[in-house]
Amino acid sequence: MEEEVALDLDELRQLQNIAKRPRVLNLINSEISNLEKLRDSAVGSSAKPEVPVTVPAPVSSSVKPVYSAVNYVTLGTFSWDQDNEKVKMYISLEGVDEDKVQAEFKPMSLDIKIHDVQGKNYRCAIPKLHKEIVPEKCKVLVKPKRIVITMFKSSRGNWLDIHHKEDKIKPSLEKEKDPMAGIMGMMKNLYEDGDEEMKKTIAKAWTDARSGKAADPLKGL
């Protein structure tokens, strides 16, 4: 059957070359198209069925490797600046692969881990920031010679430091509530720096004050 179809096609193509009237050409072209479809279907039915080949799904490059039991070199030196809305940290480090940087931001802390930099792993962590940040907005940008960490402040304003600092006003207020604390401190300094006579006098005043005999521990000095 395939041979017959091939012979018919050859003859129709010869007629196509000599035909001149449009109607005749259309009829010949239509028949040639039908025969070509018939030929192709015959060839397809006689061909062996293809066995599907299972191709493994590619691994997404966005999935970062998980690291465990890794030794890190602490990165304690960095620079930083700020504006009213965000704080930026700059870590000088060359040869960093962005896919090998792990960043964990929390409202009051950050932890940056950098893997496989010339055979070493680095870590920069601040367990307690000066004030709260917005973790979902924070990001890490890797440049050829440094890493830029951008943290967005939870509330606008100026940070005195990037690390958390204890409030130094409260202790001073406590001292103001207890005026004797300042006096006792001064007596201690006088005792340590004074001669024997001064030490005896201060010791007596101290004893009298503790026993309630003297309202003013400095009386008699």
- Contact of 208 with 218, CB cutoff 8 Å: no
What span, in angstroms and rounded, lies between the C-alpha atoms of 113 and 176? Answer: 46
Condensed to tens digits (0 to 9), the pLDDT of residues 162-178 reads 999 875 444 444 444 55
- Contact of 167 with 178, CB cutoff 8 Å: no
What is the enclosing helix (H) or strand (E) of 137?
A: none
The angle at the Cα of 98, spanning 132 to 103, to the nearest 5 degrees, equals 25
- Compute the mean pLDDT over every residue in the chain, rounded to the nearest whole number: 79
Condensed to tens digits (0 to 9), the pLDDT of residues 15-72 reads 778 877 888 778 878 888 887 888 777 766 665 556 565 656 655 545 556 555 789 9
Q: Read off the pTM.
A: 0.47
Asked whether residue 195 carries a pLDDT value surpassing 50, the answer given is: yes
Condensed to tens digits (0 to 9), the pLDDT of residues 176-185 reads 455 566 666 6
What span, in angstroms and rounded, lies between the C-alpha atoms of 30 and 24? Answer: 10
**Which of 210 and 179 is assigned the larger pLDDT?**
210
